[in-house]
Amino acid sequence: MRKIWWNGLLIVLGLLLSFPAFSQQTWERTYGGTGDDEGNSVQQTTGGGYVVAGYTGSFGNGEQAYLTKTNASGDTLWTRNYGGARNDNAYAVRQTSDGGYIVVGRTFSFGNNEQVYLIKTNASGDTLWTRTYGGTSGVFGYSIQQTSDGGYIIVGTFGSFGINPQVYLIKTNASGDTLWTRDYGGANPDYGFSVQQTSDGGYIVAGYTGFDPDYQVYLIKTNASGDTLWTRTYGGPAWDYGYSVQQTQDGGYIVAGSTASFGNNDQVYLIKTNAFGDTLWTRTYGGPLGDFGYSVQQTQDTGYIVAGRTTSFGNNDQVYLVKTNAYGDTLWTRTYGGPLGDFGYSVQQTQDGGYVVAGYTGSFGNGGQVYLIKTDVNGNVGVEVSPSHESRITSYGVFPNPFSSFASVPGHSSERFALYDISGRKVGIYKGDRIGFDLSAGIYFLKPEGKDAKPLRLVKLR
């Protein structure tokens, strides 16, 4: 559980409204109550809305697994919480072939010790059945997919509280009944975080293996029965983690995580392999203070989108989005959030070519909140710009940001700037020495007047 306290009040009106100002909808939303709430997984659903899974400390007993369904504009259609008298959490959600949802996570409320928690719902989020898996030593379920036979594949970690952890793979039928389980690893602790069924009917699993501080990214390829075909490790002499894997269009794999072996401090780590797990290339992204990649997807242009968090750019932790070409070269990066700590755990390209990101915000709303961000194809929220203008704003900065009274653009006090609200509506023209003194609280975008440049994102506090 994460709690971030601040003795001021932050009101961001832009999070409460949606404006289809451009051909692609862009918006930011928070969901939850007065407790601690978090979004771990997002998927666009049939009809163009979104479903988000995570946990809530606001509703129910202790922490509960939490499911939020929205329309295409991010407006809540319904929420559900699941669990018992102790702490329960949801880490992944997928829409199923019948229009309902399958949710996986962990539960302390049912079974012996910590258990994998599987929840099947109908299209309205009502529970059809639940299952738990595991023994007495503690088990997590982190990732799930419906398989080609209508059943489910789940990956997590088996073993805790002094028992050497192992990657744990569970195959079920359509009713959640166990068909087989497998564990993978050796003398070292091993952790599984992401699974996908592959084109040959087998499975690919990503996680990490090793002893602190010598963790390595761990990739496991199995056949349809869960038997190991090959394993690979990637990284250097320090902390390297694999959190997300996807089979790519060429039959290979893309893995996202973090590395402390290459670059300055932790960096977002992207690994591209062939079909046998042999490395084709690796890339790192970030700055000097620590950056992490939690989710990756191949995009329509055969490049990649990675979501995570950064402490190198922005205020405190920020949601971090990296778009690359097919070779991992950076096309653009974006950060989202406020001054109190924000994380991006899951990303998906949407039907309109933009992106949706789910995570956690300590900056907006009451306490911690589920954070959902819908961007355009260039990662922008509120103001649309062309990719050719990405480098045109690098000489500008705003201080302070966020601001309460007014902000300024150091070195550009005589220059005029246009300010837009989150809908893309121009709300004023300001000189560079006094920006936004007459604004209401909210999210805004600042652009040098008469110049075709990427806007800067501002947060105005009350």
31: Cα separation from own chain's centroid: 15
264 vs 178: CA distance, rounded Å:
44
Residue type, 7: N
pLDDT for position 359: 98
CATH architecture assignment, domain 24-383:
7 Propeller (2.130)
pLDDT for position 390: 39
Q: What share of the chain is helix, strand, coil (3-state, %, to 5)?
A: 0, 50, 50
| Extents of the domains making up the chain | 24-383, 384-462
pLDDT for position 424: 65
3-class DSSP state of 16: helix
Are 30 and 364 within 8 A, CB to CB?
yes
Determine the Cα angle at 341 with ends 9 and 194, to 5°. Answer: 140
pLDDT for position 462: 57
Measured CA distances, 254 to 218, 247, 292, 299, 456 (Å): 13, 6, 16, 12, 31
Question: Dihedral angle at the C-alpha atoms of 50, 371, 16, 387, nearest 10 degrees?
Answer: -80
pLDDT 10s digit of each residue in the chain, 462 long? 443 333 332 333 333 333 333 357 899 999 999 999 999 999 999 999 999 999 999 998 889 999 999 999 999 999 999 999 889 999 999 999 999 999 999 999 997 789 999 999 999 999 999 999 987 778 889 999 999 999 999 999 998 545 689 999 999 999 999 999 999 999 889 999 999 999 999 999 999 999 888 899 999 999 999 999 999 999 999 999 999 999 999 999 999 999 999 977 999 999 999 999 999 999 999 999 999 999 999 999 999 999 999 999 977 899 999 999 999 999 999 999 988 899 999 999 999 999 999 999 998 877 799 999 999 999 999 755 444 443 344 446 777 877 778 888 887 888 888 888 765 678 888 888 888 878 877 778 888 877 766 677 777 765
Locate 50 and state its tokens.
Answer: 């979104």
pLDDT for position 15: 35
Are 353 and 377 within 8 A, CB to CB?
yes
| DSSP per position, 140-161 | EEEEEEE-TTS-EEEEEEE--T
pLDDT for position 388: 43
pLDDT for position 157: 94
pLDDT for position 300: 96
CATH architecture assignment, domain 384-462:
Sandwich (2.60)
* The model's pTM: 0.81
DSSP H helix total and E strand total for the chain: 0, 32
Residue type, 344: G
Number of C-beta neighbours around residue 288 at 10 A: 11
Measured CA distances, 401 to 7, 216, 254, 310 (Å): 18, 37, 35, 17
pLDDT for position 452: 62
**CA atoms lying within 13 Å on the CB side of residue 310:** 25
pLDDT for position 290: 93
Are 157 and 181 within 8 A, CB to CB?
no
